[in-house]
Amino acid sequence: MNEWERIAFRLFGDYAGKRRDQYASLRSDLVTARMKVPFEVYLSTAYLSSVVAGIIASVALGVITYLLNIPSMIHYQGAVPEFMFVISEYSLIIGTIIAVVVSFVVVAGITFLVFLVYPSVVAGNRRRNIDATLPYAINYITAMSTAGIPPAEIFRQLANSPMYGESAVEARFIAMEIDLFGRDLLDALRLISATTPSLRMKEFLQGAMGCISAGSSLTEYFRTKAEQYSLENRQTQKLFLDTLGLISESYVTAMVAGPLFLIILQSIMAILSRSSQPIFLYIIIYLMIPFGSLMFVILISSMTPEG
């Protein structure tokens, strides 16, 4: 733990410990993400960080509201209750208080939500990395198994091979369960298969457990799985390329041809109406095209298989 986490745990550790059942999904995400932070420490850090972020934001916005006298810039045309005229004399103080409270609630809430979501995002990235590197990792352990290396040593060697990414991390945890906690190979495989974020890895480890329990040939099992996952990878890459072609056509239609047509149309309408402020044209150029392109980039990035 770093110093910030220690302070947070001292302040909120007891309170966070009572929320274990309430945040069961967060505890699961922390395990599958392999984040080396205990649940109570992480939740305490989320509480403290949210409070500090909320205070900083509320103070900053309160100072800006007060110095710029933002409430005086708000004008309302229409009937209002009588008491509104009375409190209008204190509009600066009331507006500043409202800005402080709202900014604290919004910023603190968003910060806490980010802490809750972050482990699931890390777990999702690990899942994709494991799925992408697992076929190559299995080819590696198949070669070692063919050479007669014991299964436990195979996972130790895989754990020391960083080129296999998160698959090597899972193997490292298997080796740690065996060497550090004294579990046998079956128990280690069972524990890691229950906590890995990848369904592929879970299936592979459970199959290995079945082979060991039944006394079957692990080498043949590894070879079969390597061929299966390599075929699935090729199919996934083909499906991704087909989907990428569809997305590219959609991009040309939605972000090139469509905006170009709208720009020409709005330009003609602005000339005919002699408008000096073509608002819709500005929206297309400065909002629609940049943010639309950014959304396509995010979409392609999230869909791109690793490896």
Residue 146 has pLDDT above 80, yes or no: yes
Measured CA to CA, the distance from residue 279 to residue 276 in angstroms comes to 9
pLDDT tens digit sequence for 34-85 = 988 999 999 999 999 999 999 999 999 988 887 877 666 655 555 555 555 5
pLDDT of residue 32: 92
- Say which amino acid occupies 88: S
Q: Averaged over 89-104, what is the pLDDT?
A: 82
**Measured over all CA atoms, what is the biggest interatomic distance in the chain, rounded to whole angstroms?**
90
Residue 263 has pLDDT above 70, yes or no: yes
H/E stretch holding 72: none
Measured CA to CA, the distance from residue 62 to residue 82 in angstroms comes to 27
Same domain flag for 247 and 223: no
Residue 152: which domain range?
127-229
Residues 6+ apart with CB under 8 A from 54: 103, 104, 105, 107, 108, 111
Residue 235 has pLDDT above 80, yes or no: yes
Higher pLDDT, 278 or 138: 138
Q: Averaged over 93-98, what is the pLDDT?
A: 82
Measured CA to CA, the distance from residue 226 to residue 234 in angstroms comes to 12
Same domain flag for 7 and 118: yes
Residue at which a domain ends, from 75, 107, 122: 122
Q: How far apart are the first and last CA of the chain?
A: 32
pLDDT tens digit sequence for 159-181 = 998 888 899 999 999 999 999 88
Same domain flag for 52 and 31: yes
Same domain flag for 71 and 20: yes
Same domain flag for 190 and 269: no
Same domain flag for 134 and 61: no
Compute the mean pLDDT over every residue in the chain, rounded to the nearest whole number.
Answer: 85
Helix, strand, coil abundance in the chain, percent, nearest 5: 85, 0, 15
Same domain flag for 186 and 266: no
Same domain flag for 204 and 105: no
Same domain flag for 144 and 66: no
pLDDT of residue 215: 80
Same domain flag for 7 and 108: yes
Residue 13 has pLDDT above 80, yes or no: yes
pLDDT of residue 36: 86
Per cent of the chain over pLDDT 90 is 32
Same domain flag for 193 and 244: no
**pLDDT-based confidence at 271, cuts 50/70/90?**
confident
Residue at which a domain ends, from 122, 146, 171: 122
pLDDT of residue 79: 52
pLDDT of residue 196: 92
pLDDT of residue 45: 94
Same domain flag for 68 and 101: yes
Residue at which a domain ends, from 175, 198, 229: 229
Please tell me the total count of domains within the chain: 3
Neighbours of 111 (CB within 10 A): 19
